[in-house]
């Protein structure tokens, strides 16, 4: 592990910003956070560029670069951050990231002499339209919650819910980056093969079991050369930051196709991420020890260290909410489905990076990992409808009149994440929202883009 765990002046909860909204109780984006996104103003032809959240505003990094108020590493970082994706900034590595964070923190703090210069570089978040923050070359989704793996495994293998390798190896599969969208993404109910109960031959048609997965996303910064490994001790220096992630799933397609090679069409039709990427430095106050049940096998040497055991986990609260079409029509608020914490993850973010590269796999700036569905030890902490509805056999009540085993057309799923504890500033990850549309007709699915 690196010193990214350590607190510094940017984590000081006593600091306030001259941007008044950043000081409000419950604010996701105080001066101690400073997450990145790529944006432009709504209904404009402006170029997309990087920005940093402060309160209900965005600090336009392209505009800050033009003002030439930063020097050295921070100035170099600004030139990279003002582009239409954050890949160039990600590639620069943790020393440059820290230089920019320190400079922005000092310029936005209450009493900063740069207030007048930077006030003109603010854009209200209410006026912003976001883009996927990086060009994502590869997407790997893991299976890092032992509670999710056990509950789902029990549905298919009651006597042996966890396969023998689970507690030794971070399980993952390679997903598809081209179908990743930013919060607000709408997608059609996917078609595919599924095997109806009691039948001997599959049918083709729209999935009847579309589900959400409550996850975190991990953006890779500086990568490694092909044939080299990233050791656990340096793994976090290769992580640019974390976001929220919903890896939508078609459970009936998944059940039919997943053996012997794992997820395929059941997973690659849509993945939605939040626009904001929160740095590990902002999350440093919320580090906690890794918790594993008594008697678990110790990780192999390349996945184990004292530092990882002591502070490898992060207490990020995660909520999933459902808004149905009927709720929207009535003006009712969304209903919370579950609430859990990333601290329950069986594998840490550093372990995911170290394992991904143990074979010499090369990571590049902008690669994205999903943590896999994050579920906690109690039923109300389940991170998917598959778990909440016991595989569809026990639909859950939604509002006064509706029930859900799986998602219905018109449903929106909203996920939120934040960290909060006494003696630290609240750090939010914002939210990720996605919307399920009806399945396309056969004539529509045959159309291609040119």
pTM for the structure as a whole: 0.96
As a whole number of angstroms, the distance between CA 81 and CA 76 comes to 9
Q: Where are the domains of the chain?
A: 3-131, 139-440
As a whole number of angstroms, the distance between CA 340 and CA 430 comes to 16
Q: Does residue 4 have a pLDDT over 70?
A: no
pLDDT at position 1: 46
**Helix, strand, coil percent values for the chain (each to nearest 5):** 30, 25, 45
CB neighbour list of residue 180: distance below 8 Å, 6 or more residues apart: 132, 136, 139, 271, 272, 273, 368
Residue 148 designated active-site? yes
Residue 308 backbone dihedrals phi, psi, to 5 degrees: -65, -40
- CATH superfamily of domain region 3-131: Fumarylacetoacetase, N-terminal domain (2.30.30.230)
The CATH code for residues 139-440 is 3.90.850.10
CB neighbour list of residue 294: distance below 8 Å, 6 or more residues apart: none
**If you average pLDDT over residues 300-319, what whole number do you get?**
98
Marked catalytic residue, from 148, 191, 238, 344: 148
200-255 pLDDT, tens per residue? 999 999 999 999 999 999 999 999 999 999 999 999 999 999 999 999 999 999 99
Q: Does residue 450 have a pLDDT over 70?
A: no
pLDDT at position 443: 64
Higher pLDDT, 443 or 222: 222
90-124 pLDDT, tens per residue? 999 999 999 999 999 999 999 999 999 999 999 99
Q: What is the mean pLDDT of the chain?
A: 95
pLDDT at position 446: 54
Q: Does residue 447 have a pLDDT over 60?
A: no
User: Are 102 and 10 within 8 A, CB to CB?
Assistant: yes
The DSSP string of 331-342 is: TPPPEEEEEEEG
pLDDT band, very low/low/confident/very high, at 400 (cuts 50, 70, 90): confident
**If you average pLDDT over residues 40-59, what whole number do you get?**
97
Residue 426 backbone dihedrals phi, psi, to 5 degrees: -65, 130
As a whole number of angstroms, the distance between CA 262 and CA 285 comes to 37
Token readout for 131 is: 């883009």
Token readout for 113 is: 């002499």
Higher pLDDT, 210 or 3: 210
Residue 59 backbone dihedrals phi, psi, to 5 degrees: -80, 110
pLDDT band, very low/low/confident/very high, at 3 (cuts 50, 70, 90): low
Q: Does residue 448 have a pLDDT over 70?
A: no
């Amino acid at each position: 592990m690196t010193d990214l765990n350590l607190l510094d002046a940017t984590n000081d909860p006593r600091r306030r910003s001259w941007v008044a909204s950043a000081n409000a109780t419950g604010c996701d984006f105080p001066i101690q956070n400073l997450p990145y996104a790529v944006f432009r103003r709504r209904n404009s032809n402006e170029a997309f560029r990087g920005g940093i959240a402060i309160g209900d505003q965005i600090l336009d990094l392209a505009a800050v670069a033009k003002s030439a108020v930063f020097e050295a590493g921070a100035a170099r970082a600004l030139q990279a951050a003002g582009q239409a994706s954050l890949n160039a900034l990600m590639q620069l590595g943790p020393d440059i990231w820290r230089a920019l964070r320190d400079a922005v923190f000092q310029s936005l703090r209450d009493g900063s002499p740069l207030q007048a210069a930077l006030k003109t570089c603010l854009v209200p978040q209410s006026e912003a339209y976001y883009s996927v923050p990086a060009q994502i070359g590869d997407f790997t989704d893991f299976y890092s919650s032992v509670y999710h793996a056990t509950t789902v495994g029990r549905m298919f293998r009651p006597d042996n819910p966890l396969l023998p390798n689970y507690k030794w190896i971070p399980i993952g599969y390679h997903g598809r980056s081209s179908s990743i969208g930013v919060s607000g993404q709408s997608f059609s109910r996917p078609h595919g093969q599924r095997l109806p109960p009691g039948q001997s031959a599959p049918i083709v048609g729209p999935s009847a079991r579309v589900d959400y997965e409550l996850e975190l996303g991990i953006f890779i910064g500086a990568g490694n050369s092909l044939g080299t490994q990233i050791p656990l001790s340096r793994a976090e220096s290769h992580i640019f930051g974390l976001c929220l992630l919903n890896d939508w799933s078609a459970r009936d397609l998944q059940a039919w196709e997943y053996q012997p090679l794992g997820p395929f069409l059941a997973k690659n039709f849509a993945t939605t991420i939040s626009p904001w990427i929160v740095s590990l430095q902002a999350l440093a106050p919320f580090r906690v020890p890794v918790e594993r049940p008594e008697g678990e096998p110790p990780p192999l040497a390349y996945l184990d260290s004292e530092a990882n055991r002591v502070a490898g986990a992060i207490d990020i609260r995660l909520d999933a909410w459902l808004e149905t079409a009927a709720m929207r029509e009535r003006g009712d608020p969304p209903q919370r489905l579950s609430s859990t914490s990333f601290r329950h993850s069986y594998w840490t973010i550093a372990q995911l990076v170290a394992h991904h590269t143990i074979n010499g796999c090369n990571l590049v700036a902008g690669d994205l990992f999903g943590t896999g569905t994050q579920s906690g030890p109690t039923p109300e902490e389940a991170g998917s409808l598959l778990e909440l509805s016991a595989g569809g056999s026990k639909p859950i009540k939604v509002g006064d009149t509706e029930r859900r085993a799986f998602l219905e057309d018109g449903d929106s799923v909203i996920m939120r994440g934040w960290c909060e504890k006494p003696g630290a500033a609240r750090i939010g990850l914002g939210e990720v929202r996605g919307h399920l549309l009806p399945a396309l007709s056969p004539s529509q699915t045959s159309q291609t883009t040119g």
